[in-house]
Amino acid sequence: MERQFVIDDFKLGESWRLFKIMGEFVEGVENLHDLGPAVSIFGSARMQPDNPVYKKTEEIAALFAQNNFAVITGGGGGVMEAANKGASEAGGKSAGLNIRLPFEQKPNPYANVKVEFNYFFIRKVMFIKYAAAYIAMAGGFGTLDELFEVITLIQTHRIKPLPVILVGSEHWAGLKEWIEARILTENLASEKDMDIFQIMDDPEEIVDHVKRVVIL
**104 CB contacts (<8 Å, ≥6 apart)?**
45, 46, 76, 77
- What are the C-alpha distances in Å from 204 to residues 1, 41, 214? 67, 15, 15
- The candidate with the shortest Cα–Cα distance to 151, out of 174, 119, 115, 183, is 183
Residue 2 has pLDDT above 90, yes or no: no
Average pLDDT, the chain: 91
Q: What is the pLDDT of residues 69-128, one digit of tens each?
A: 999 999 999 999 999 999 999 999 999 999 887 665 678 999 999 999 999 999 999 999
Residue 149 has pLDDT above 80, yes or no: yes
Cα 66 → chain centroid: 20
Amino acid at 199: I
**72 CB contacts (<8 Å, ≥6 apart)?**
32, 35, 38, 39, 40, 41, 95, 97, 126, 127, 130, 131
**176 CB contacts (<8 Å, ≥6 apart)?**
166, 194, 199
CATH classification code of 2-213: 3.40.50.450
How many CA atoms are closer than 13 Å to the CA of 214, on its beta-carbon side? 23
Q: What is the pLDDT of residue 15?
A: 78
Distance CA 130, CA 133 (A): 9
Distance CA 70, CA 36 (A): 7
Residue 6 has pLDDT above 80, yes or no: no
Q: What is the pLDDT of residues 22-60, one digit of tens each?
A: 999 999 999 999 999 999 999 999 999 999 999 999 999
- For residue 198, what pLDDT band results from cuts at 50, 70 and 90? very high
Q: What is the pLDDT of residue 216?
A: 63
CB 98 within 8 A of CB 105: yes
Q: Per-domain residue ranges for the chain?
A: 2-213
- For residue 192, what pLDDT band results from cuts at 50, 70 and 90? very high
Q: What is the pLDDT of residue 5?
A: 45
Kind and range of the H or E run holding 97: strand 94-99
Q: Mean pLDDT over residues 159-172, rounded? A: 96
**35 CB contacts (<8 Å, ≥6 apart)?**
70, 72, 93, 95, 113, 130
Distance CA 79, CA 103 (A): 17
Q: What is the pLDDT of residue 30?
A: 94
Residue 17 has pLDDT above 70, yes or no: yes
